[in-house]
Structure 1
Amino acid sequence: MASEHDRAVLQAIFSPNTPFGDVPGLDQEQELTDNDSPFNVDSLRQVKDLETRGVSAAEAGDLEAALQLFGQAIRILPRRASAYNNRAQTLRLQGNTPGALEDLDRAVSLSGGQGRTACQALVQRGLLRRLAGQDDEARQDFQKAAALGNEFARQQAVMLNPYAALCNKMLQQVIGKLRNPDMCESPLEAQSRY
């Protein structure tokens, strides 16, 4: 009997474009946490509050207020990656892609490429790079985020890998033929048998 992990792996192989969240056992990002232990507890509490307010302001459409709140958080704890990641999202919403990429680079660097913030920053940066036509760099970001457990990033990495896409298509054709050999024959192949 196959385990949940085995079923998830098979689902990922046979349906790499499955919608986000539909592959049980693969999306591990929700279990990631950031290492906030080096930071002063009171400062960290204050920064988290500023970030929460910043996210709320951005969601309400007040991008300037959001930028100010994220800026305050960065000034209090400039070595913490999360506020840079959040500010990057706000800058992207304003159309400031270079500023967003700069903050995402900083978030990835400060996080050491580990934890929830790194994963989110890698996905954001991958999307911006993909929009800019930098597919190789985007694929690298998506692969790193996928290694951290992000299912969406895994799907994007597969879509950007022409060899994987070709192999997957061939594998699906082989499985299709095994499941129903008569359906896969062309009319000429069927006539030549008689």
Structure 2
Amino acid sequence: MSNDRAHVSAHDSAVLNRIFNPNLPYGDVVDEEEVEKEIEEETVDVKVSKQLEVQGVQAAESGDVEAALNLFSQAIGNTPQRASGYNNRAQALRLKGDVLGALEDLNMAITLSNGTGSVACQAYTQRGLIYRLEGEEEKSLEDFKHASRLGGQFAKQQVIAMNPYAALCNQMLCEVMQKVRSGEV
């Protein structure tokens, strides 16, 4: 039997998905083929922007949010087509309390990444968190679902936590499994 995914039926693929992604609510599918590999041409400008972003992250981690914002803005100015700079600046803006600015940058990161890849996953997760903090549960859940489909483990947990039916089913299944293990059933 071949390991080639082309020979796996849609039903088999759904069963395998449930096995390998048991915490996702039914209907949510993580398809590895959907997750595009991010390939970025390493031009001089891209290398400079990446270095500026690393410095920005270091500044943010040391508590200098203003320096981080400045460095992320320089990276964006250097390569405005890169989604990563917007995603990173959104984090710093959120730390500063600029929720609207953070949302604008996250929207730009999602747009520039075409909603795929690790940067989009991070941006959807961040935006989902902001929406949740702002009380916009439906928008939050949708963003967590997008991030979950892109492989975001934290987002998957948020989808489960926000779905009371899935949480109840998981709790009941755990209780049954504990009874089976202890010989009660």
Look up the equivalent residue of 1:62 and give its one-letter code.
D
In structure 1, stretches of 5+ residues that fail to align are 1-5, 17-25, 185-194
1:156 maps to what in 2?
A: 158
Alpha-carbon distance, 1:170 to partner: 2.6
Following the alignment from structure 1 to structure 2, what is the Cα–Cα distance between the partners of residues 34 and 57? 26
After alignment, is 44-53 or 160-169 more displaced?
160-169
Question: Could you report, residue by residue, the CA deviation over 1:139-161 in whole angstroms, capped at 9, with x for unpaired residues?
Answer: 11111111111111111111111
Change (3 A) 1:117 1:11: closer
Following the alignment from structure 1 to structure 2, what is the Cα–Cα distance between the partners of residues 176 and 54? 48
2:3 maps to what in 1?
A: none
2:38 maps to what in 1?
A: 34
**1:35/1:115 contact within 8 Å kept:** no
**Paired residues for 1:15-164 under 5 Å:** 16=23, 34-37=38-41, 41-164=43-166
User: Which structure has the greater CA radius of gyration?
Assistant: 1
Change (3 A) 1:11 1:174: farther
**1:67/1:87 contact within 8 Å kept:** yes
Percent identical? 48
Alpha-carbon distance, 1:12 to partner: 5.7
Following the alignment from structure 1 to structure 2, what is the Cα–Cα distance between the partners of residues 11 and 178? 22
2:173 maps to what in 1?
A: 171
Alpha-carbon distance, 1:95 to partner: 1.1
What's the TM-score, normalizing by structure 2?
A: 0.76
- SS of the residue corresponding to residue 173 of structure 1 reads helix
**1:34/1:117 contact within 8 Å kept:** no
**1:87/1:103 contact within 8 Å kept:** yes
Q: Number of residues paired by the alignment?
A: 163
